[in-house]
Structure 1
Amino acid sequence: MTQLLLTTIINERFLNLDVSQYTSSVSAIHHRLEQSENEPTGWLNGPIAMDSQNLYPILTMADEIKKNAEVLIVIGVGGSYLGAKAVQEALTPYFQKNEDGIEVIYVGYNLSGSYMKQIIDSLQGKEFYVNVISKSGSTMESSLAFRVLRKYTVERYGEEGKERIIVTTDPEKGLLKEIADTRGYRRLEIPSNIGGRYSILTAVGLLPIAVVGVNIVELMEGAKKAALDLKEESLEKNEAYRYAMIRHALYTQGFRIELLASFEPALSYIHEWWKQLFGESEGKSRKGLFPAAVSYSADLHSLGQFVQEGSPILFETFLHFKEVSKDYSIPYTIANDDGLNYLSNRTFNEINSISKQGTVLAHAEGGVPIIQIEVEKLDAFHVGYLIYFFMKACAMSAYLLEVYPFDQPGVEAYKKKITELLIEESVAH
């Protein structure tokens, strides 16, 4: 069965795509990815190599946390939290804790004193664990949050507190590894050949995802299926490469913004993870599409006008899961005072799907190029498949732009300036 279907609706005046012009470059990039030995591409075959034996330590630790705590605090920024948060939001109930998991909350991705104070206040009287995630341990937002929370953990639990702190970091080096070794904190490893934004399918994402109650075995099975499916070199057979090719072709036609759109609120953090993945991977050397996202139908009433008739600088990628687990029927009323009885034989999900179809048609007729990514079901297996699909497509897309997908040199600029200002202020005081 096809796990993911990629289709396009593109006005011919924007794009007359000759697939053959990409064949040689895609083939060369494919072989570069598959044969790389000294690149941070461990994620490529990670799902294939991951089995129940590899997952056992993570599952065991997750069970311990669920047994002994009400809350897991995850400390991380960027790739150290967005992936886990994305899967949590996509696969757990909107308004109540999953029966198989506990509350997982995130800190260390902002510098808000109010947010930190409320986190600490919320932990009063609750049992908790802390999972700090960082490859280097030197990112300011996460490091400051960890300083606060390890102090609070010691105050609450004394010497036993070190058993409630789990460090996910580089296996061989880094400040966080040194702290863990010195303090006796337990460690999970971020493979040295996998960078942060490609690390969701490692302990970085898998421990929080397991704690919240999502089946990580099924998640990894979906990713494994994608890893095997997407080993195809052919553009006709590899949907990830086709997506990368279409994005690149539209970029060469002058489009500068890709708008990821979905009609399910649970996917909002999939959007956020996708934005970091493509933004940090492609935005270099004054190149790259700007990754933006909208959640419909809400954003049809805010940005819909611009998309339909505004500056022709963007194209849309619609993400749609055909089957969502829960639904609600439209009730019939005798009065019919709102005139909606004609919909009483429908469900919300059916109307949502039709709304998606209507929006796609309207935007396409308005001249907006459309890419559609349709996935069979919103469950752990298919979300795992989608995550791998996007990562493989992103690597190909960046190389088509002739930029390196696995670094983020521009991020260091703001870090350097902030540190300089903080040192200057400290000296002044």
Structure 2
Amino acid sequence: EVANRLKQYDVLVVIGIGGSYLGTKAGLHFLETPFKQTKPEILFAGHNMSSNYMVELLKYIQDKNVAVNVISKSGTTTEPAIAFRLIMDQLKERYSKEDLQSRIVATTDQARGALYQLSKTEGYDQFVIPDDVGGRYSVLSPVGLLPLAVAGYDINKMLQGAQKAYQDASISDLSKNVSYRYAVLRYMLYQQGKKIEMLASYEPNMQYVNEWWKQLFGESEGKEYKGLFISSALFSTDLHSLGQYIQEGERHLFETIIHIDTPTKDIEIQKQDSDLDGLNYLAGKTLSYVNTKAEEGTLLAHQEGQVPNIVLHLENVSEASFGYMMYFFEIACAMSAYLIDINPFDQPGVESYKKHMFQLLGKPGY
């Protein structure tokens, strides 16, 4: 009901940072049709503190019909709190209090916190971030599902995909439990001296899945001076930049490749009489075939260069596949952390920079 109401607006601004931003961004980018204009347009704020970004965002939305989904358990996380304040300053000049009640949706704690209190006082619709779900694990909660539903995607299929991943991860036979096998392989490579894992794919729609994955594993494992350093690449683009290092640089990394088995669309390369570009040997082949052979050739080259590769297969680009992939990595991440005796559900180190930043800003109590 709320998602359908928000679809009437020109723009939905999703305000959040970390898991309150990356999961939704990953889903939108993974599922979207390139170059297609959508309504409502989903924009993001509160994921940085760039003055230029905020000024341009406010300028862009000033003559548009705007709704906001603000996401924060506490309501006091600096980046989204500043963004919400600045955006609301504009919206309060444009809309009545009653109108804002239909435009603003808060995804927050169920009973406490500044955002909970504000939304309760102002009469904004609220969705709950479960107490036992941290931000980086929250994409399949209202944090990610609401904006993805507003964008027109079938969130029931996402949850069905996640349910399938849960069932597959419940198999006690390790040879059939791909999620746990992935966790164990990462652990074994780490024990053998590999210190960096690079997640790579040959589809550009994986860009923000990569970014979400880096937060998931980086925040979950990187504690007590342990854990793999997490990096990512998009091939074949990054083969023309990082490829040299991967092939012949320090032997301290391994790659995890996500291979999408079925492309959403394809195109055939046609024969030309002149063949000036020397590509007639590819005539009759599809572009996805060439892309797959680039992947296979790179895999062979990197193995020759002593870079171990883990290949994970994703059936297709769909809501169900997105849900499956998110849950697959979440449970693999938890198991990976437990294998190195780390709690995967806290992030104490994140508070260090905040303490120094608040001191420099003169925040009371710091």
Name the TM tier (shorter chain).
Answer: over 0.9
Listed one character per residue, the Cα deviations across residues 196-228 of structure 1 (whole Å, up to 9, x for unaligned) are: 110100100001111122211111110111111
SS at match of 1:293: strand
* SS, match of residue 104 in structure 1: strand
Q: Given the alignment, which residue of 307, 316, 319 partners 1:380?
A: 319
Name the CA distance, whole Å, in 1 between partners of 2:65 and 2:272.
48
Q: Distance in 1 between matches of 2:271 and 2:12?
A: 43
Letter of the structure 2 residue corresponding to residue 69 of structure 1: Y
2:136 corresponds to 1:193: no
Match of 2:5 in 1: 64
RMSD: 1.2
Q: Give, in angstroms, the shift of residue 419 of structure 1.
A: 0.7
User: For the residues of structure 1 that align with 2:271 and 2:43, how far apart are their CA atoms?
Assistant: 40
**Helix, strand or coil: the match of 1:145?**
helix
The residue that corresponds to 2:143 in the other structure is: 204
Q: Could you say which residue in structure 2 is the equivalent of 1:137?
A: 75
Q: Secondary structure of 2:216's partner?
A: helix
| Greater relative contact order, per chain length (Cα 8 Å cut-off, separation 6+) | 1
CA distance, structure 1, for counterparts of residue 65 and residue 283 of structure 2:
46
Q: Distance in 2 between matches of 1:97 and 1:219?
A: 22
Q: Residue type matched to 2:67 in 1?
A: Y
Mapped to 1, the partners of 2:3 and 2:168 lie a distance apart of 30
Partner AA of 1:152 in structure 2: Q
Q: Name segments (4+ residues, structure 1) moved above 6 Å.
A: none
Matched, 1:82 2:22: yes
Which aligned pairs between 1:184-263 and structure 2 lie closer than 5 A?
Answer: 184-263=123-202
How far residue 335 of structure 1 moved from its aligned partner, in angstroms, is 1.6
> Aligned partner of 1:325: which letter?
T
Task: Give 2:47's aligned residue.
Answer: 109
Q: Is the counterpart of residue 367 in structure 1 residue 302 in structure 2?
A: no
Q: Does 1:315 align with 2:271?
A: no
In 1, the alpha carbon distance for the partners of 2:227 and 2:13 equals 34
The size of the alignment, in residue pairs, is 363
Aligned equivalents of 1:146 and 1:284: distance in 2? 31
- Report the CA distance between 1:346 and its aligned residue: 1.2
Offset at 1:173? 1.4
Structure 1 gaps of 5+ residues are 1-59
State yes or no: 1:397 paired with 2:336. Answer: yes
CA distance in 2, matches of 1:332, 1:69: 47
Amino-acid identity (%): 48
The CA distance in 1 between the partners of 2:54 and 2:283, in whole Å, is: 46
* CA displacement 1:50-75 (0-9 Å, x = unmatched): xxxxxxxxxx2111111x20111000
Contact in 2 for aligned 1:154/1:162 (Cα 8 Å): no
Deviation at 1:262, TM superposition (A): 0.4
Per-residue CA deviations over 1:345-388 (Å, capped at 9, x if unaligned) read 11111111111111111101111011000111111111111111
Letter in 2 for 1:323: T
Asked if 1:283 corresponds to 2:222, the answer is yes
CA deviation string 1:55-106 (max 9, x = no partner): xxxxx2111111x2011100000000100100100101121124xx521011
- The one-letter amino acid of 2:54's match is M
Structure 2 unaligned blocks of 5 or more? none
Q: With structure 1 as the length reference, what TM-score do the two structures score?
A: 0.83
